[in-house]
Amino acid sequence: MIDWPLAELLPHAGDMILIDRVLGFDEEQIHTQLTVKPDGLFNHPDGSLPAWVGIELMAQSVAAFAGCHARRRGNPVELGFLLGTRKFECNVEHFPAGAELTIHGIRSLEDDNGMGVFECHIHGAGIHASARLNVFRPPKAAQYLDQSKESSDD
């Protein structure tokens, strides 16, 4: 398990951090985990978490992958973007409160411009979800956002 606090790996804060911990990572993949809490931001009244939130769990795992690599190199964690997903499939409609979920993300493509593709899976007791995530992490995110803002002001 990784000892870095998630708030130091993800560009998220507070209740928007949905995963609980990083179990491990290497050059191509990451393993994360969470226990579904009944009082989260996206939970149904019965405490379950809609299965579509699985896409965000996968995206946060990919962000943690980038954060772990940045921390290991001594660099700051930078902002990234989920561009979309393909082939999201899940065998359940929701993840029950208390369910232990593990998320596995494998980098299948990443170029020098920051575009990437990750194959992701969520597993739990009787639960399986999978998707291919398309992500973008600009090499200099702050500069990229400033340029985007200037373009929209024109």
Beta carbons of 100 and 125 less than 8 angstroms apart: yes
Q: Which residues contact 35 (CB under 8 A, 6 or more apart)?
A: 20, 98, 99, 100, 101
How many Cα neighbours within 13 Å face the side chain of 15?
A: 7
CA dist 78 and 144 (Å) reads 11
Name the token pair of 56. Answer: 């965000």
CA dist 35 and 90 (Å) reads 18
pTM across the whole model: 0.89
**Which pLDDT band holds residue 147 (cuts at 50, 70, 90)?**
low
**Residue bearing the bigger pLDDT, 2 or 7:** 7
CA dist 63 and 137 (Å) reads 9
pLDDT digits (tens, 9 = 90+) for 56-101: 999 999 999 999 999 999 998 888 999 999 899 999 999 999 999 9
Residue ranges per domain, the chain?
Answer: 6-153
What superfamily would CATH give domain 6-153?
Hotdog Thioesterase (3.10.129.10)
